[in-house]
Amino acid sequence: MCMTNIVPQGSIPIIDMSNWEDLKVAKSICDAASEWGFFQIVNHDVPVEVLENIKDATYNFFRLPAEVKNKYSKEHSSSNNVRFGTSFTPQAEKALEWKDYLSLFYVSKEEASALWPSVCREQVLDYMKKSEVVIKQLLQVLMKGLNVNEVDEAKESLLMGSMRTNLNYYPKCPNPELTVGVGRHSDVSTLTILLQDEIGGLFIRGNEGDDWIHVPPIKGSLVINVGDALQIMSNGRYRSVEHRVVANGSKNRISVPIFVNPRPVDMIEPLPELVANSEKPIYKQVLYSDYIKHFFRKAHDGKKTIEFAEL
């Protein structure tokens, strides 16, 4: 695939979360979210064994026989909240993306016990639960950076009222130059917390033209990125940035994103605290489930989804 102007590794901020409340650390988080839309965190509160366990569980799921995994496919799954599939929107794509995934939308522990595959259920629940601490820290800091000093229950629900965890499996590809792992897109989340393995292959669009910047794997780190919902709610101050994953000719790769989202029934728009002070809103109010439907109706198309909410 065309990867013009690949910028050397190491440009994306790496933020040490051990003193996350320190004003300097908080500033580096907010700056990273507005300038890069992407950063990595180290020394966070998600224990390394939780990360190792979820990686093992991901391999264990994808190692299952095809007929077992297919029980969770669109045709066979007993619930829309559990979905095994290939590519992104096969019906809308010219060429399929070289990726299998298991997508788990969290409703309750009871539903997870009843519906999620047992080879990965506990590990995903644990990864989500432990990540919640870090998600709350990041959101608190990011809101403060917008002068939103109180994250009350309603605001917390708006920012992180629903969560989806995907287990991504990118099998090695005989002709990697003919396809992609994931095409150019921005996430529709508030924030995405992504665990990647040591293979590499995730690139984000740089600020200039056709620059693509590699997100280098760092053991024990988590990749954080701003999604469209936070770009909208921050009235464009925090940016969701286009990214893509290349197909790999010699190695399998896995990644495990948690998409931290508003609830489907929420209306999202620039936060009232921001537009109260005569700042002009640049996005309109949209029902989050409509936004998601718009995203999934089409093949990956860069940053186009957000046009749906532009004024």
Ligand X SMILES: O=C(O)CCC(=O)C(=O)O
Q: Are strands 6-7 and 212-214 parallel, antiparallel or unpaired?
A: parallel
Identify residues 102-161 at the interface with ligand X (CB under 6 A): none
Instruction: Give the whole-angstrom CA distance, residue 215 versus residue 299.
Output: 23
- Taking the complex as a whole, the smallest distance from the CB of residue 168 to Fe ion amounts, in Å, to 9
- Binding ligand X (rule: CB under 6 A), the pick from 12, 82, 180, 202 is 202
Q: How far is CA 183 from the centre of its chain?
A: 14
57 binds ligand X (CB under 6 A): no
Report 166-225 residues binding Fe ion (CB under 5 A): 187
Report if residue 213 touches ligand X, rule: CB under 6 A: no
Q: What is the CA radius of gyration of the chain?
A: 19
Q: Tell me the closest approach of the beta carbon of residue 101 to ligand X, in angstroms.
A: 8
CB of 180 to ligand X, least distance (A): 11
Applying CB under 6 A, does 58 fall inside the site for ligand X? no
Dist. CA 239–CA 230, nearest whole Å: 8
Task: Indicate which of ligand X, Fe ion, none lies near residue 202 (CB less than 5 to 8 Å, by partner kind).
Answer: ligand X
55 touching ligand X, by CB under 6 A:
no
147-183 residues labelled b (16+ CB within 10 A) or e (exposed): ebeebeeebeebbbbbbbbbbbbbeebeebeebbbbb
Restricted to residues 157-176, the positions that interact with ligand X (CB under 6 A) are 166, 168
Residue closest to 195 by CA, chosen among 166, 167, 222: 222
Binds ligand X by CB under 6 A, chosen from 162, 196, 240, 261: 196
Closest residue to ligand X using C-beta atoms: 255
Q: Closest CB to ligand X among 202 and 260?
A: 202
Q: Does 245 bind ligand X (CB under 6 A)?
A: yes
242 binds Fe ion (CB under 5 A): no
Binding of residue 183 to ligand X (CB under 6 A): no
Question: Does the protein bind ligand X through residue 257 (CB under 6 A)?
Answer: yes
Cβ contacts of residue 153 below 8 Å, gap of 6+? none
HSE, side-chain direction, 13 A CA sphere, residue 47: 7
Give the separation between CA 201 and CA 216, rounded to whole angstroms. Answer: 8
- By CB under 6 A, tell whether 46 contacts ligand X: no
Give the H or E element holding residue 254.
strand 253-261
Residues lying near Fe ion in the complex (CB under 5 A): 187
Residues lying near ligand X in the complex (CB under 6 A): 166, 168, 182, 187, 194, 196, 202, 243, 245, 255, 257
